[in-house]
Structure formats: C-alpha cells, structure tokens
C-alpha cells in the first residue's frame, strides 16, 4: 500500500472511530407508551404481533374482519388479553378495502389512544385456484385486501408520522411474493406488490425518519393454514425448509418487534424472510 493510500485509509478509520456513544443493544422497552396499529389483529400472526407489542408496553389498536359471531368473539378475546397486560386498547371491525373506513379508523385511534407511532399491515386473505379458473372477484378480493389495504393504512398514517418525524411501518408479505407456487397467482401478485410498495414507501417516508420494512413469513402454523392447506403441501414445506419445521406466529412477531425498536433504526426498505430457510 502506497503512502497516499495508507493515509486515506487511516483518515477514514479515524472518521468512523469518532463515534463515542455506544451502540444500543436490542431493548424493546423503548416501545413503552407508543401506539401501535395492527390490521387483521384478531387471529394468527396479527394476534401474536399485537400481544408481543403489548408485552413491550405498546398501546394497541387492531381491526378485524367481521365475518360472523366467531370473528367478533376472537376479537373480544384478544382485546381482553391485551388489557390484562395493562395497556390501552382500541378495536373494531374495519374493511381494509374501504379507504374511507381505514381513514376513519386511523383518526379514531389517533384521538382515542393519543397518536400513532407504529403500523403493522398484516391483514391478508387467499383465494387459491388455477389462474384460468380464477373469477374476477377472487382476484380483486385478494389484491384489494392484501395490497390496497396496506396502501390505504400507510397513506392514512403517513401525515401523522411525517409530522412527528418518527414512525415504524412493517408490512407482512410472504415468501410467495418472492417465489410462487401453483394456484396462487392472485396471492403471489399481491404479496410481490407489497414488497415493491415497502421499498417505495421507505424511499418516500425515510427523509422524515419513518422506517418501512417487511417480513416475509413462510409456512406458519395458524388455524387458517392447518385447516385450509392439504397435509401433503405442509409436509413438502417442512422438507423444503432447511430447519425442517413450520414456523409459529411468535417467530414472526419477534422479528416485527425488532423492526419496530430503535435497535433497527438504521434498517429501512428491507424484506426479512421468516421461513426456516424455505427460500434457500
């Protein structure tokens, strides 16, 4: 190494070495008192995320799809468990496909809980079938729920987060947004679109200190998965995952909480697989 190059390297090392404040270790206690919104928070991954955020001291607002009495009971049970953690809770049915309903929900949360600091776009559905057999409504329902819903919520919270110059947004996409399978063209398209939206939103909101990231779960044990997916597909998923197992909702929730914490303050526009090595 010549003298000029050596001097340049030494100068660079001196520059990066001037940081005297220690880097924070992962500590979710900095989430205490913040207000988190979780779409689709009454079951599965959304439920696990809502509870994990409450364990960290976040006040939680969640919405759910009112598909009948069982859906309402599930939502009430989640609200009860959240309140047991001594946080404030707001919840109601909200159709994430309806931009006006989403806007009203965010306004209500801001008023009732005193702000919005975290948004988890989790609401999602599937309507599987070969693409040549998919009806218009089966395509539209999935794309409008999984992709439009995330856009509507993000657009609604953006003015709040930009004004306070702080915010964390995590979108729950899927490994199928990266690598598809037969019969899920609508679902895979919506989740791939959500990955693109995550990166675009990160670019637009980053200058106001708003982090936008995504998690991409693989096959996660939920009621919808175990009740709706044939056992041979689940067996194949286990075989394809290098860890040899399906995930649990808590596996996803832990990564989401990390992304919402200040330990992830310098991460934005990232898509983190939570798939046991399914995509490897």
CATH label of the domain that carries residue 103: 3.40.50.720
For the chain, the domain total comes to: 1
Confidence of residue 180 (pLDDT cuts 50, 70, 90): very high
Catalytic residue from among 90, 187, 219, 278: 187
Q: Is residue 21 part of a domain?
A: no
Q: Is residue 153 part of a domain?
A: yes
Q: Is residue 75 part of a domain?
A: yes
Closest C-alpha among 60, 66, 163 to residue 119:
60
* Residue 23 main-chain phi, psi, to 5 deg: -70, 135
Give the model confidence (pLDDT) of 109-138 as tens digits: 999 999 999 999 999 999 999 999 999 999
Give the model confidence (pLDDT) of 5-59 as tens digits: 555 545 544 554 444 555 555 567 689 999 999 999 999 999 999 999 999 999 9
Q: Is residue 1 part of a domain?
A: no
58 close to 31: Cβ distance less than 8 angstroms:
yes
Adjacent-strand bridge partners of 89: 60
| SS3 per-residue string spanning 8-65 | HHHHHHHHHCCCCCCCCCCCHHHHCCCEEEEECCCCHHHHHHHHHHHHCCCEEEEEEC
Check residue 232 and give its pLDDT: 84
Q: Is residue 4 part of a domain?
A: no
Closest C-alpha among 107, 104, 93, 113 to residue 39:
93
Q: Is residue 104 part of a domain?
A: yes
Q: Is residue 195 part of a domain?
A: yes
Across 4-8, 66-70, 191-195, 221-225, least confident range: 4-8
Specify whether 187 is catalytic: yes
* Residue 214 main-chain phi, psi, to 5 deg: -140, 150
Check residue 17 and give its pLDDT: 47
Q: Is residue 13 part of a domain?
A: no
Show the domain range for 31. 26-274
pTM of the model: 0.89
């Amino acid at each position: 190494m010549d003298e000029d190059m050596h001097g340049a390297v030494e100068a660079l090392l001196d520059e990066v070495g001037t940081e005297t404040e220690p880097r924070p270790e992962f500590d979710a206690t900095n989430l205490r008192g913040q207000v988190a919104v979780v779409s689709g928070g009454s079951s599965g991954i959304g439920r696990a995320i809502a509870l994990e955020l409450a364990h960290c001291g976040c006040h939680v607002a969640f919405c759910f799809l009112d598909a009948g009495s069982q859906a309402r009971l599930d939502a009430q049970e989640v609200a009860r468990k959240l309140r047991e953690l001594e946080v404030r809770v707001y919840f109601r049915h909200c159709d994430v496909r309806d931009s006006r309903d989403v806007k009203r929900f965010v306004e209500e949360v801001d008023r009732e809980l005193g702000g919005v600091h975290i948004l988890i776009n989790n609401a999602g559905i599937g309507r599987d079938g070969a693409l040549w057999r998919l009806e218009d409504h089966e395509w539209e329902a999935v794309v409008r729920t999984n992709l439009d819903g995330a856009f509507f919520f993000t657009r609604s919270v953006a003015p709040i987060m930009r004004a306070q110059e702080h915010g964390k947004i995590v979108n729950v996409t899927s490994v199928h947004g990266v690598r598809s399978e037969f019969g899920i063209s609508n679902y895979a398209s919506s989740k791939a679109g959500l990955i693109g939206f995550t990166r675009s939103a990160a670019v637009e909101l980053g200058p106001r200190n708003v982090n936008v990231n995504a998690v991409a779960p693989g096959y996660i044990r939920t009621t919808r998965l175990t009740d709706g997916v044939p056992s041979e597909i689940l067996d194949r998923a286990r075989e394809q995952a290098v860890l040899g197992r399906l995930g649990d909702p808590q596996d996803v929730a832990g990564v989401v909480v990390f992304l919402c914490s200040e330990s992830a303050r310098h991460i934005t526009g990232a898509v983190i697989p939570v798939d046991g090595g399914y995509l490897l």
